[in-house]
């Protein structure tokens, strides 16, 4: 018997698909700018040179990742009934949980034409869900309820709570159906229950720099904002920034810590002498999200890109916030265990993000009330 030397390894036929899956996960976890082609290539088990044979640059790969996820959601629209469509969307999202969150925060880094094409596909999904919502729950606001339900479903991509896949799908379906069937009248007047801590008034140059940087980070993304832009907005020379912050990342950390502090105060105030603690907590979170939208979006979108040592205190604050929610939800629904409660809490957060965006974050009592009702629907 003659032994032959092993031949070259066979290239898998689905290598491009494997690359897109690995890249989507890296982009979702680390953010577009922090991700590298070398890291993505390592995740697939190939060299960076081999990766460039499939995609000419990081942007092309990023755009493909966002497009593929949107196409998967569009393909789930073939079902005939609202429960079946929601279940199909949930299956797709859960199956691609590690990479499915790409569109929520990172899509702003797409070029205009690509961003418009992606929005058109998501619009197709929303319109189909809204059509089915209108049939099953024929009262006003079907578009907003559809968007909010998709926010509840998409929330699974934004955290790592571990539950059996079948149970995840059951919980998300119940949550999404609770959203689309929510009656805004159930939370009427909830905005009047909330007394938020005031936005800090910038009284020092350091505070002025922070206040100027937050809307820039929210609008353009942390990586795209320069110290020169921040300095110009407060009438300083770029070099003067360094007398107050060692670097741009330190401004971002300060913004995230400010968001965490204001949110903690809002939670504490909402739970004092509340007749319905879960409703009070929900109303406070919704009010905070509207009133401090730029600050909150920066903290949510950019914390993943921070160095590990700078991220730890922020992650600790996030865990404490989730724990407060978990306790209130399990009091209202004792059949839930802690992981199930956390999953639903994140679903509620997803509702706020997507419903708030749909309402363009226009802060009115009516908007706060309706979003509060949608979140309560997701939780209860």
* CA separation for the pair 359, 136 (Å, rounded): 23
Under 8 Å between Cβ of 122 and 73 = yes
* CATH architecture, range 184-379: Orthogonal Bundle (1.10)
pLDDT at 66 over 70: yes
Question: What pTM was computed for the model?
Answer: 0.88
pLDDT at 229 over 70: yes
* CA separation for the pair 219, 224 (Å, rounded): 10
Under 8 Å between Cβ of 292 and 342 = no
Residue 25 has which token pair? 């996960």
* CA separation for the pair 46, 243 (Å, rounded): 45
**Range 138-144, long-range pairs (CB < 8 A, 24+ positions):** 139/183, 141/184, 141/370, 142/180, 143/358, 144/355, 144/358, 144/359, 144/370, 144/374
Q: What is the CATH number of domain 15-180?
A: 1.10.357.10
Under 8 Å between Cβ of 214 and 253 = no
- Maximum mean pLDDT: which of 124-128, 156-160, 185-189, 315-319: 124-128
What pLDDT, in 10s, does the model give residues 251-266? 999 999 998 898 888 8
For the segment 327-338, the average pLDDT, to the nearest whole number, is 96
pLDDT at 153 over 50: yes
Domain(s) of CATH 1.10.357.10: residues in the chain: 15-180, 184-379
């Amino acid at each position: 018997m003659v032994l032959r030397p092993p031949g070259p390894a066979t290239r898998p036929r689905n290598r491009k698909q494997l690359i897109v899956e690995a890249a989507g996960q890296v982009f979702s976890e680390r953010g577009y700018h922090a991700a590298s082609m070398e890291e993505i290539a390592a995740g697939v088990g190939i060299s960076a040179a081999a990766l460039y044979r499939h995609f000419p640059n990081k942007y092309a790969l990023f755009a493909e990742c966002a497009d593929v996820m949107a196409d998967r959601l569009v393909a789930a629209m073939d079902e005939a009934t609202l429960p079946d469509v929601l279940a199909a969307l949930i299956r797709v999202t859960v199956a691609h949980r590690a990479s499915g969150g790409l569109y929520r925060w990172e899509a702003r880094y797409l070029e205009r034409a690509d961003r418009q094409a992606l929005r058109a596909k998501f619009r197709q999904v929303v319109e189909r869900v809204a059509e089915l919502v209108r049939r099953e729950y024929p009262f006003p606001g079907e578009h907003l309820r559809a968007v909010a339900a998709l926010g509840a479903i998409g929330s699974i991509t934004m955290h790592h709570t571990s539950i059996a896949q079948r149970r995840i799908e059951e919980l998300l379906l119940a949550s999404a159906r609770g959203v689309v069937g929510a009656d805004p009248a159930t939370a009427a007047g909830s905005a009047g229950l909330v007394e938020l801590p005031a936005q800090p008034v910038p009284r020092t140059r350091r505070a002025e720099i922070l206040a100027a940087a937050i809307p820039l980070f929210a609008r353009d993304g942390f990586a795209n904002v320069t110290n020169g832009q921040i300095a110009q907005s407060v009438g300083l020379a770029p070099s003067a920034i360094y007398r107050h912050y060692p670097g741009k990342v330190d401004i971002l950390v300060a913004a995230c810590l400010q968001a965490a502090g204001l949110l903690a105060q809002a939670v504490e105030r909402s739970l004092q002498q509340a007749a319905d603690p879960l409703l009070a907590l929900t109303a406070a979170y919704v009010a905070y999200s509207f009133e401090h939208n730029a600050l909150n979006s920066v903290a949510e979108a950019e914390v993943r890109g921070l160095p590990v040592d700078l991220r730890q205190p922020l992650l600790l604050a996030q865990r404490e916030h989730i724990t407060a929610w978990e306790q209130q939800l399990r009091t209202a629904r004792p059949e839930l265990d802690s992981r199930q409660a956390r999953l639903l809490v994140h679903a509620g957060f997803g509702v706020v993000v997507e419903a708030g965006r749909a309402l363009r974050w226009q802060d009115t009592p009516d908007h706060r009330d309706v979003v509060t009702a949608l979140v309560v629907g997701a939780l209860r």
